Homo-oligomer: A and B are copies of this chain.
């Protein structure tokens, strides 16, 4: 008997929780399904994993196909394998979460989605499948991870002000932070570089722009260093 007939098999999908930040609100991107099941309902972008691609590749491909986003921070979240989570048959889904930079990508709906749009994470519509569970888990992961890994930067453009960075943390952690204490801690990490540029086109005193020092972080990472804020 050939190997390929011995194994039980399952349909495998990927789903992506895509976070973005828009006027101080944390948003998540959803697509409106235009195929059954759950036709017309909102859902996380995602789809089936092809047999000749890794699951990471599948997540990137689906994200690009369904929303036009590419080159984003993307990390595996958790694998959801409850029975009955898809009404058609047994489907196991590997969930990912993505962070995209401040609305410099406008989104576009694609083939199997009728529409794609950003929703405030605190006010999402009811979702298809078990996508609410996935979203909850992604939010928790994000809250946890932002405290010890420098991923807040992924939601901002390359150059940003310290106030913008603070708003990222406040949006994710859902709490207000003290400006002076926040700046002190961030600067003490030594991982943000002051540039000689300032904000433009603001109707008040312009803030200095900073950059995240990704190279330096990579060096420190292996030495057990933790980025804590």
Contact = CB atoms under 8 A, between A and B. Distances in A.
Interface of A: 3-4, 7-12, 48-56, 76, 78-79, 81-83, 88-92, 94
B83 A54 contact: yes
Pick the most buried of A10, A48, A88: most chain B CB atoms within 10 A of its CB. Answer: A10
A229 to B, nearest CB: 15
In the complex this chain forms, how many copies of it are found? 2
The 8 A-B pairs of least Cβ separation, nearest first, read A55-B81, A9-B9, A7-B11, A3-B88, A79-B79, A10-B12, A79-B94, A54-B81
Contacts of A9: 9-12, 51
Contact of A11 (B8, B54, B83, B94): B8
A146 to B, nearest CB: 14
Given A10-B49, A12-B12, A51-B10, A4 B89 contact: yes
Contact of A10 (B10, B81, B82): B10
A92 B8 CA distance: 12
Given A11-B9, A48-B7, A55 B83 contact: no
30 contacts: A3-B89, A4-B89, A7-B48, A7-B89, A7-B91, A8-B12, A8-B48, A8-B49, A8-B50, A9-B9, A9-B10, A9-B11, A9-B51, A10-B10, A10-B12, A10-B51, A12-B12, A49-B92, A51-B90, A52-B83, A52-B90, A53-B83, A54-B81, A54-B83, A55-B79, A56-B81, A76-B78, A79-B79, A79-B94, A81-B94
Contacts of A76: 78-79
A90 to B, nearest CB: 5
A217 B150 CA distance: 28
A54 B76 CA distance: 19
Nearest to A50: B8
Contacts of A94: 79, 81, 92
Contact of A49 (B49, B51, B81): B81
Nearest to A81: B55
A58 to B, nearest CB: 8
